[in-house]
Amino acid sequence: MVKKKGKSKRTTLKDKYKIQHRVVETHRKNRKQAKRDAKAGIIRHDKKKKDPGIPNSWPFKQELLQDIKRSNERIEQKKAEEKERRAALKKDPTNLAELMAQANQKQNEFDARVGTTAATAGDDIKSNKESHGQQSRRAYLRELKKVIEASDVILQVLDARDPLGTRIHPAIEAGILSHFDKRMVLVMNKIDLIPKANVAEWLTYLRRSHPTVALKAGTTQSRSSESGKSSGIGQTKGESALSSSSAVGVDGLLQLLKNYARSAGESKKSKSCISVGIIGYPNVGKSSILNSLKRFRAVGVSPRPGHTTAMQEVVLDKNIRLIDSPGVVFDDDDGEQGAGAVLRNSVDADSIADPIPAIEELLNRATMESIMMTYNVPMFPKGDVMTFLAMAARSKGKVLKGGIPDKIMAARMVLKDWNKGKIPYFSVPPADNDMAMETGGTATIVSQFSDEFDVNKILAAHDAELMEGLEEKDEMDFVHVNSASIKDGKNNASKVLNYLQGGEDASEIDSDEDMDEDDDVAANNRMEDAEDFDFDS
């Protein structure tokens, strides 16, 4: 019986050296035999099996032979071309004139090839971008118009950190209320991100034009909370409420809507249910407020702008029906390339070609001291965006080869920090005369929402409980920014209003996602003209 071979490769040294000796002897004998055969002229063939070829019984033998023949011809042709190319390379220019002529010819060929490709690609990208942007803008405006027409009460959601920057243009507000005969309530969301005193200042300022409710929408609502206790102020108070994901201050808004539904039902016996439309800029928390009112996740939410693309109806109770709308940038009144839209997180920072204008807008609105403390950079000339980006890139390790600061990467980093909330900031309401100039008249206190009930009584009780639960925050921990002013000139406010009132086709309205064809050139020119900050001085 044959001994079973073990799996282990371990062996004795005697066997190991015996095998090595046999291998050496075998190789020596093969070399000696090869020398003898060479002297005698003997050719020994390898013992490899000869290729039998294609059998004659193969039905497609001729076709296969033709394919092999064509393949061999292509290989031979490539070899010949490579041989000619190598021969041409050996013909070096004999003088300077020939060398310059050859260099110019190669440069012209390269420019023609690359220029044609870049122009074609640029036209395709621009046409695709314009088509996508215009189609998205038209679709969102159509959905917004449906929401406004179907609503009895309109909730305009504002970001508490920058209420004026996220507020609809006054002309659009007035046009909607006058043309559609609607009621409007301002909802200041994300109050947990600003100091307590700033919340009171903005409530006083905004209530001069419309009833205003301050709240913090819930971020994670479960279906189990539908039957539980309210997620508003009555559920949790103080720091635990604001630091958690539960909603705070929703009860005041809910009570306001129920009072209007009750008064509307009494005045119009045939109408027992009211529709409440929720509108606003992208990423201000419209869907989160709807989920907070419903007490569970009724619609999808996302931190990225543009998640909601169509109107969504949710029944709150037998008297109130909520309608969610997609976020729309109502006017393009900011600087070049939509800098304000980027700072409002209405546009993704990675989707813009040149982030420098947004950083310029940020430095113009924010105080230098708060920016210096946030990014741990020394003092720099006010408004010098390139110096700031160079220092921020050094501070965060965003450098290229040779230690050159990557300013474009640093600009995108700052914008992402701004939009993700890593940079806490708040804005201060403008003075009374500034408000009169922006609204086109004097500021008046809106005391009543309708003749049937007094809004002040509802809001006063809501504010007292809300302010008691808010946490005191040090303003030194925030970046102070100026309120975004409402400017005329380059904006789409009149076009948007005309379309909402049924006058103009949506295709006439410019898209916020349309980028100028010279964006990349402008960004490169800024980078070339900028002087790097001298860190050694």
Q: What is the mean pLDDT of residues 63-85?
A: 91
| Average pLDDT estimate for 201-216 | 88
The answer to whether 532 touches 402, Cβ cutoff 8 Å, is: no
pLDDT of residue 400: 84
Distance separating alpha carbons of residues 344 and 166, to the nearest angstrom: 7
Q: What is the reported pLDDT for 231?
A: 42
Tell me which residue of 321, 7, 362 sits closest to 162, measured CA to CA.
Answer: 362
pLDDT of residue 107: 79
Give the least confident one: 277-286, 354-363, 367-376, 478-487: 478-487
Owner of token pair 């064509």: 70
The pairing of beta strand 425-427 with beta strand 479-481: parallel
> What tens digit of pLDDT does each residue of 365-384 get?
888 888 888 888 888 888 78
- At 87-132, the pLDDT tens digits run 877 766 666 777 777 777 777 777 776 654 444 445 554 444 444 4
Q: Please report the beta strands in 311-465, taking only residues with DSSP state E, as ranges in sequence order.
A: 312-315, 320-324, 425-427
Rounded-to-integer distance, Cα 326 and Cα 312, Å: 9
* CA pair distance 88, 92, nearest whole angstrom: 8
pTM: 0.62
pLDDT of residue 381: 83
H or E segment to which residue 214 belongs:
strand 212-214
Question: 92-106, 305-319, 400-414, 482-496: which has the highest mean pLDDT?
Answer: 400-414
Report, as an integer, the average pLDDT of 489-494. 56
Give me the domains of the chain, ranges plus CATH numbers. 132-331+429-510 (3.40.50.300), 336-421 (1.10.1580)
Better-predicted residue by pLDDT, 327 or 434: 327
Task: Quote the pLDDT of residue 12.
Answer: 93
Query: Per-residue pLDDT averaged across 238-258, rounded?
Result: 69
The one-letter code for the residue type at 408 is: I
Lowest mean pLDDT among 226-230, 380-384, 480-484: 226-230
